[in-house]
Amino acid sequence: MLVDTHCHLDFERYEEDRGAVLDRAAEAGVIAIINPAVDLANSAVVCDLAAAHPSIFAAVGIHPNSAADFSSEQIARLQALAGREKVVAVGEIGLDYYRDYCPVSMQKRAFEAQLALAAEVSLPVIIHNREAGEDVLAVLRDWVASLNSPLQDRPGVLHSFSAPLAMAETAIELGFYIGITGPVTFKKAEELRRIVAAVPADRLLVETDGPFLTPHPYRGRRNEPAYVRYIVERIASVRGVTFDDIALQTTQNARRLFGLPLDIAAD
């Protein structure tokens, strides 16, 4: 059994064959897929998609690149969506200093407000970080210190981790999980593989980030949940254990973090 903890199945690139994508995922042993949102309208879409498919779960939130028009009214609407069935996280949220889509001040305002929402509704967070590691950690450190809820033991995941090992170690100390995506399979990704070897097994998650970051041997094509098995295979090789070891551990980790039901049914 496998869990793809991050895939944007609602995106247009899946529109023509989403059913076939889900069928291939089930054939590959994927029992659950978490579909995070990127903006307010999209949050409603992913909730509807999760309601329509047994294997899909939703995360609601506003991506930092979508935060230019952020307002407190959006938090109220997100809170209502967070109460829908099969919503298991707030995300993806965070900071992105790579693209100049939104002022940093507005990104931080949206980030902090959504962290406060996550604490209020007791949902873990899915964190986006691109070239903003120090600021992301500073915000998360303050947030975790303020928590007085079950989230203290499962605050969230650093999605598609690509920062230095020191950041992973700090995040793990704060209680976070580390999400590993397709680049771990790339020929030149030795630093990422060193991080994968160092992260405690009970803090690893696997994710495709489909339709992006397709692993070898399908690099360059559209990514999809069935390909999460290639990420698991590479992690197993790096850590010197079996595929089944990593599949079981990461599935247990995903269930623990997101509160996934034990009787997940495939489509």
Structural domain boundaries, residue 203: 2-258
Task: Identify whether 127 is part of a domain.
Answer: yes
pLDDT in tens, 173-182: 999 999 999 9
Please report which confidence band the pLDDT of residue 263 belongs to, taking 50, 70 and 90 as the band edges.
low
Task: Identify whether 84 is part of a domain.
Answer: yes
Question: Token digits for 151?
Answer: 């989230």
Residues 57/35, Cβ–Cβ less than 8 Å: yes
Report the alpha-carbon distance of residue 253 to residue 45 in Å, rounded: 26
Task: Identify whether 267 is part of a domain.
Answer: no
Residues 90/126, Cβ–Cβ less than 8 Å: yes
* Reported pTM: 0.96
pLDDT in tens, 5-14: 999 999 999 9
Q: What is the CATH number of the domain that holds 199?
A: 3.20.20.140
pLDDT in tens, 86-138: 999 999 999 999 988 899 999 999 999 999 999 999 999 999 999 999 999 99
Q: What is the SS3 assignment for 127?
A: strand
User: In which order are the strands placed within the sheet that holds 156-158?
Assistant: 2-4, 30-36, 56-60, 87-96, 125-130, 156-158, 177-180, 204-206
pLDDT in tens, 70-81: 999 999 999 999
Report the alpha-carbon distance of residue 166 to residue 28 in Å, rounded: 34
Task: Identify whether 100 is part of a domain.
Answer: yes
- pLDDT, residue 99, reads 86
Task: Identify whether 265 is part of a domain.
Answer: no
User: How many structural domains does the chain have?
Assistant: 1
**Cis before 211 (ω within 30):** yes
Q: Comparing C-alpha atoms, which of 179, 166, 79 is closest to residue 128?
A: 179
Cα–Cα distance list, 187 to 164, 176, 191, 237, 239 (Å): 18, 27, 11, 14, 17
- Count of residues for the chain? 267
Task: Identify whether 266 is part of a domain.
Answer: no
Task: Identify whether 236 is part of a domain.
Answer: yes
Cα–Cα distance list, 146 to 87, 115, 129, 130 (Å): 23, 11, 21, 24
